[in-house]
Amino acid sequence: MASVPRIGAQSPPPLRPLGPILSTSVEPLGAVSQVRALADGHVIVHDNAGRRVLLFDSTLTSFTVIADSTSQTGNAYGSQIGGLVAARGDTTYFVDPVAYSMFVIDPRGRIVRVLAVPRPGDVNHLIGGPFGTPGVDARGRLVYMAAIPAAAPPGPGHPHAEPDSALVVRFDFTSRSLETVAKIGIPRVRYAPTSFESLGISLVANVAVVNTMPWTDDWALLADGTIAVVRGQEYRVEFIDTSGKISVGAKLPFDWHRMTDEEKTAQSDSTRREAQRQRAASIARGRAQRGVVTNSDSTPRAASSGSKRPQAPSGSAPTSLLLQFAAIDEMPDYRPAFRQGAAIGDRDGYLWIRTSKMMNGGAIYDVISRNGELIDRIQVPPGRTIAGFGPGGGVYMGVVDGDITRLERARTIVAGK
């Protein structure tokens, strides 16, 4: 796919490291997917792998449990992964996709009431991750990326594809009205008929074919309620304020790298291994919670795009375990500047974009001003991803420490401030 990005005229600022780590949590976590910093220094942490929501003190040494997955707690986490949403002030919502509800958490970490989600079909898009980080704007409207309904699949043996775009919307809690703000491009997943054998029976199922390096747009909610939409192929930012006024920034500078066929193959192989690792870890966690011992035979196998008859794991549901990857000629010739879910707003009104660039194992973030200019480039330490921001330049990250994850707090001042 010969999509050649156009180079912006602006020269990038020098790369600089994030500030020093100021504190690290003692409590071991499964993951740090979202962090909600409160005005008094406390932080609400979503440990999605451990299925817990915790309230840490400002030093990250002590905590209380807001919700977890044990049957003893009065505030159960739920059977599916949820998500945090920053509301107005220090109020936080926790989305329960099973109950189609949002639990309202007050500044002391107490669940005080329950709200219905805007639309049941959008509930999984409220949990964050690749769908962006939902939030509440200055007018009290919930901003999130909504799903575009796909046509009913034609059934096994017939290829089809999911929509390649989504909508950024604002939901008014009072009127229960939904306003479309922007349309963004997202990676398209197509489904191809694939033959395989399970328990000695030949079957045909539609298997997801994933592009491991797709072009995509992204979005984020800024501190003043402005919505920032990042366009992938042009690498520029469009801003939509609370009144609906749109302003467009200039193309951002980026060191575009043309991918060789060997690099594309290596990218697919790396993604395949990571998918297998994550699936095996998920199976192991689930079996551990049920008291079942996991063995090496439970690791699923991902089918390559050239496989004619992949084997499904014995006794498993094959349509959920098999995955194919797009051929290298379907991948873009230039590595995209970012992936889906890379944009996040800080507390000072800047937009941070986790780029596809790495240096010595550390991710590089582009920091964009409100007028769309690249004003800073910051590298986080190896193995870290920013999960949230606090006041005064606070930055919260998760870091893997052996078999566990810990929460870290650093501090940085954006160079253009």
- Calculate mean pLDDT across residues 211-228: 95
Asked, for residue 302, whether it belongs to a domain, the answer is no
Asked, for residue 20, whether it belongs to a domain, the answer is yes
Asked, for residue 280, whether it belongs to a domain, the answer is no
Q: How many CB atoms lie within 10 A of CB 32?
A: 27
Asked, for residue 317, whether it belongs to a domain, the answer is no
Count of domains forming the chain: 1
Sheet of 227-231: strand order equals 218-221, 227-231, 236-240, 246-248
- Calculate mean pLDDT across residues 115-119: 95
- Look at residue 283 in the predicted model and tell me its pLDDT: 65
**Confidence check: pLDDT of 318 > 60:** no
**71 token code pair:** 């049957």
For residues 69 and 52, the answer to whether their CB atoms sit within 8 Å is yes
Question: 119: buried, middle or exposed (CB in 10 Å: 19+, 13-18, 0-12)?
Answer: middle
Asked, for residue 295, whether it belongs to a domain, the answer is no
AA identity, residue 290: R
Range(s) of the domain holding residue 248:
15-259+332-411
For residue range 123-178, list pLDDT tens digits in order. Answer: 999 999 999 999 999 999 999 999 887 777 766 667 778 889 999 999 999 999 99
Asked, for residue 4, whether it belongs to a domain, the answer is no
Asked, for residue 357, whether it belongs to a domain, the answer is yes
**389 token code pair:** 């921001």
AA identity, residue 380: V
* Residue among 139, 188, 151, 148 at smallest CA distance from 168: 148
* Percentage of the chain exceeding pLDDT 70: 84
- Look at residue 272 in the predicted model and tell me its pLDDT: 79
Write phi, then psi, for 203 (nearest 5 degrees): -130, 160
Cα Rg of the chain, angstroms: 22
The CA-CA-CA angle for residues 53, 57, 60, to 5°, reads 85
Expressed in angstroms, the distance from the first to the final Cα of the chain is 39
- Look at residue 294 in the predicted model and tell me its pLDDT: 35
Cα torsion 241, 234, 270, 288 to 10°: value is 10
**Confidence check: pLDDT of 280 > 60:** yes
For residue range 347-393, list pLDDT tens digits in order. Answer: 999 999 999 999 999 999 999 999 999 999 999 999 999 999 999 99
- Mean pLDDT of all residues belonging to the chain: 86
The per-residue b/e assignment along 370-409, b for 16 or more CB within 10 angstroms, e otherwise, is: bebebbbbbbbbeebebbbbbeebbbbbbbeeeeebbbbb
SS3 of the chain: helix, strand, coil, percent, to 5: 10, 40, 45
Query: pTM of this prediction?
Result: 0.86
CA distance 146 to 219: 12
Beta bridge partners of 28: none
Which stretch, 160-169, 246-255, 260-269, has highest mean pLDDT? 246-255
Cα torsion 369, 370, 372, 378 to 10°: value is 20
- Look at residue 208 in the predicted model and tell me its pLDDT: 84
The CATH number given to whatever domain includes residue 27 is 2.120.10.30
Asked, for residue 5, whether it belongs to a domain, the answer is no
CA distance 405 to 183: 35
The per-residue b/e assignment along 231-266, b for 16 or more CB within 10 angstroms, e otherwise, is: bbbbbbbbbbbeeeeeeebebbbbeeeebeeeebee
